[in-house]
Amino acid sequence: MPNCLTLKKSNCKNCYKCIRHCPVKSIRFSGNQAHIIGDECILCGHCFVVCPQNAKEIVSETEKVKVLIQSGDPVVASLAPSFIANYEGTGIEVLREALKKLGFADAEETAIGATLVKREYDRMLKEEERDVVISSCCHSVNLLIQKYFPELLPALADVLSPMVAHCQDIKRRMPQAKTVFIGPCVAKKDEAERSGGIVDAVLTFEELTEWLKAENIELRQEKQPDPHSRARFFPTTGGILKSMLCDAGNFDYLAIDGVENCIAALRDIGQGRIHHCFIEMSACAGSCVNGPVMEKHGRSPVKDYLAVAQYAGDQDFEVAQPEIRELRKQYRPIEHRASKPSETEIRDILRQMGKFKPSQELNCGSCGYDTCREKAVAIYQGKAEISMCLPYLMEKAENVSDTIARNSPNGIIMVNDLLEVQQINPAALKILRLRDSNAVLGDQVMRILDPMPFMKVQSTGRGIFHERTYLAEYGCTVEQTIVPAEEGRMFLCIMRDVSQEEDVRRKKEEISRQTAEVADKVVDKQMRIVQEIASLLGETAAETKVALTKLKESMADE
């Protein structure tokens, strides 16, 4: 991962938005987390801008700058010309004043370095035999060519960027000075590390703003345009050309912004379709005023351009031009190793994704890759996972759910919020005596079932569970469960045919009733017998009593 970018793993939600917006697909996914591939990244900052969970972080160098200030050496800030769009209504004097309060010795405009660079571009085109020349101001474009189009490095202007040229100029004038670039670009942090100590640190506008707030320093509103500041146009699309003389008669001049457009142009150059042309390239659409670390959340390209245009002058900065060799830089290829799969291996991976023939390769781009084959290559290289394919997941989920519904012994019916039947499985068709699903799909549920339970669930938001209902029309009894799904937009009805259970229950009840009746009869009969016995016993006892009484009386008479 690039040193200037970090990832907050807890924030990454596996949404694939970063890979969809990464123009060079330098992000891999592992363990449901995004990882930036440093060898392939061009630090355009798109992933940082588009991440909805703020899972990408730019490493802050504020503490590093504070240490530089505390070292005792003079620290000079180089302010990117886009500062006038970020800090609207200010000017270089306002920023210089604020930066001195933070401990900086001075602050200058990077546009001074831009003046040196654009002069070298003009000289190069007139005095050297060149065919196609690409501006080297944008470090992301430089990385793009170094990593993905190394064969076009001869076309990349071997000239320092304005940042490095300016910081070099500061150190030439102040040998003990430390230089800090402040701007809207992530890639400049990487370029500073590669500058060989010319640029000591890089702050983003956001880092500067946070530092100013921490020190309770407010920027006053005062803008003092200077006519000697034409290079202030550099951060706008076509701004480099606007500041150049463009007087090399055999050259065409054009500006291209946005990584995708730059890639398309580089392919044309590689195929020999473009000649005798100077091309200003910027990775950011709208150039630097639309950089990834411009603070404003809402993009205002017209307003930002006007801010720069109103602050820029129509003449060059009055700065001495250094020798040619001091402005030159050799750009070398940067290798990134990514093995390529064979056609057989690609087909095997496609089959694992459920793509058995070309017609199944939808190339929908939901995974972030333009084609299913590109995705298969990324899987082979360990950058992507099969599960990143949305149609594959949907088909897999549908197959699983369809298999469950199709083979479930319970009747399953899905109804939408208009109480229209959306899905019905074979078990439900059997319960409801329906020939096929087409007979009821899209119709109101009241055609086949009592809608009242559905309406009750819809109005209360609470499900009905295991409610036994006799469906007289179908001559069966079901145990019915109705629950809301998809936040009340759908309703799931599960019916279990309990007719046999009801028959068994009724038979048991009948047997119990009959048993009770027999028992009652037996008890009644026994009671009658007891009563008859008691009656006979009573008569016998009475007769015995009478006989004994008579016997007693007769004996007494004697």
**CATH number of residue 23's parent domain:** 3.30.70.20
Q: How far apart are CA 115 and CA 189, in angstroms?
A: 22
Q: pLDDT value at position 299?
A: 66
Q: How many CA atoms lie within 13 A of 515 on its CB side?
A: 6
Q: Do 45 and 194 belong to one domain?
A: no
CB atoms closer than 10 angstroms to residue 293: 21
Q: Do 103 and 87 belong to one domain?
A: yes
Give a yes or no: residue 320 inside a domain: yes
Token readout for 180 is 């800090």
- pLDDT of 124 > 50? The answer is yes
pLDDT in tens, 521-551: 877 888 888 787 877 777 776 777 666 676 6
* Least confident range of 74-83, 250-259, 395-404: 395-404
212-219 long-range CB contacts below 8 Å, 24 or more apart? 212/98, 212/102, 215/101, 215/102, 217/98, 217/101, 217/102, 219/87, 219/90, 219/94, 219/95, 219/98
Looking at per-residue pLDDT, the higher value among 277 and 558 belongs to 277
Q: pLDDT value at position 3?
A: 65
Q: How far apart are CA 316 and CA 307, in angstroms?
A: 19
User: Which whole number is the average pLDDT over 313-327?
Assistant: 94
Q: What's the full length of the chain, in residues?
A: 558
Question: Phi then psi for 36, rounded to 5 degrees?
Answer: -80, 130
User: Which amino acid would we find at residue 221?
Assistant: Q
* Final residue belonging to a domain, choices 407, 426, 445: 407
Looking at per-residue pLDDT, the higher value among 30 and 495 belongs to 495
Q: Do 41 and 80 belong to one domain?
A: no
- pLDDT of 395 > 70? The answer is no
Q: How far apart are CA 497 and CA 428, in angstroms?
A: 9
Alpha helices in 296-449 (DSSP H): 301-311, 324-327, 343-352, 372-380, 390-407, 426-431
Q: Do 371 and 314 belong to one domain?
A: no
Domain that holds residue 19: 1-59
Give a yes or no: residue 288 inside a domain: yes
Give a yes or no: residue 394 inside a domain: yes
CA end-to-end distance (rounded Å), the chain:
140
Q: pLDDT value at position 523?
A: 78
Q: Do 391 and 428 belong to one domain?
A: no
Q: How far apart are CA 534 and CA 80, in angstroms?
A: 123
Q: Do 313 and 389 belong to one domain?
A: no
160: nearest Cα among 191, 136, 192:
136
- pLDDT of 558 > 60? The answer is no
Token readout for 126 is 């007139």
Give a yes or no: residue 541 inside a domain: no
Q: Do 131 and 35 belong to one domain?
A: no
* Final residue belonging to a domain, choices 407, 427, 444: 407
Q: How far apart are CA 246 and CA 132, in angstroms?
A: 14
6: Cβ–Cβ under 8 A, 6 or more apart, which residues?
56, 57, 58, 59
pTM over 0.85: no
DSSP class of 159:
B
User: Which whole number is the average pLDDT over 309-335?
Assistant: 94
User: Which whole number is the average pLDDT over 289-315?
Assistant: 86
- pLDDT of 387 > 90? The answer is no
Looking at per-residue pLDDT, the higher value among 494 and 388 belongs to 494
CATH code, 420: 3.30.450.20
Q: pLDDT value at position 397?
A: 62
Residue ranges with strand state E in 406-538:
411-416, 421-424, 464-471, 476-485, 490-497
SS3 content of the chain, % helix, strand, coil (to 5): 45, 15, 40
Looking at per-residue pLDDT, the higher value among 81 and 54 belongs to 81
Q: Which residues of 348-374 are buried (b: 16+ CB within 10 A; e: fewer)?
A: ebbeebbbeeeeebeeeebbbbeebbb
Say which residue the tokens 């670009």 belong to: 185
Looking at per-residue pLDDT, the higher value among 437 and 75 belongs to 75
Q: pLDDT value at position 481?
A: 95
Q: Do 217 and 131 belong to one domain?
A: yes
Q: pLDDT value at position 491?
A: 93
Q: How far apart are CA 72 and CA 74, in angstroms?
A: 6
- pLDDT of 506 > 90? The answer is no
Q: pLDDT value at position 534?
A: 76
Q: Is 282 helix (H, G, I), strand (E, B) or coil?
A: strand
Q: pLDDT value at position 238?
A: 96
Q: Nearest 10 degrees: CA dihedral of 408, 410, 411, 412?
A: -60
What is the C-alpha radius of gyration for the chain, rounded to an integer number of angstroms? Answer: 43
Q: How many domains does the chain have?
A: 4
pLDDT in tens, 8-25: 766 787 788 888 899 999
Q: pLDDT value at position 503?
A: 79
Q: Do 457 and 359 belong to one domain?
A: no
Q: Do 96 and 31 belong to one domain?
A: no
Q: Are 157 and 124 in contact (CB under 8 A)?
A: yes
Q: pLDDT value at position 352?
A: 86
Give a yes or no: residue 289 inside a domain: yes
- pLDDT of 515 > 60? The answer is yes
Say which residue the tokens 């690409």 belong to: 134
Give a yes or no: residue 532 inside a domain: no
User: Which whole number is the average pLDDT over 235-246?
Assistant: 96
At residue 296 the predicted structure's pLDDT band, cuts being 50, 70 and 90, is low
pLDDT in tens, 150-189: 999 999 999 999 999 999 999 999 999 999 999 999 999 9
Q: Do 167 and 281 belong to one domain?
A: yes
pLDDT in tens, 41-55: 999 999 988 888 888
CATH code, 356: 1.10.15
Q: How far apart are CA 122 and CA 240, in angstroms?
A: 11
Q: pLDDT value at position 401?
A: 67
User: Which amino acid would we find at residue 336?
Assistant: H
Q: Is 542 helix (H, G, I), strand (E, B) or coil?
A: helix
Give a yes or no: residue 202 inside a domain: yes
Q: pLDDT value at position 557?
A: 63
Token readout for 177 is 């000075």
At residue 407 the predicted structure's pLDDT band, cuts being 50, 70 and 90, is confident
Is the Cα torsion angle 463, 466, 468, 469 positive or negative in sign? positive
- pLDDT of 269 > 70? The answer is yes
Looking at per-residue pLDDT, the higher value among 134 and 367 belongs to 134
Q: Do 49 and 65 belong to one domain?
A: no
Average pLDDT across the chain, whole number: 89
- pLDDT of 1 > 50? The answer is no
* Final residue belonging to a domain, choices 305, 327, 349: 327
User: Which whole number is the average pLDDT over 131-149?
Assistant: 97
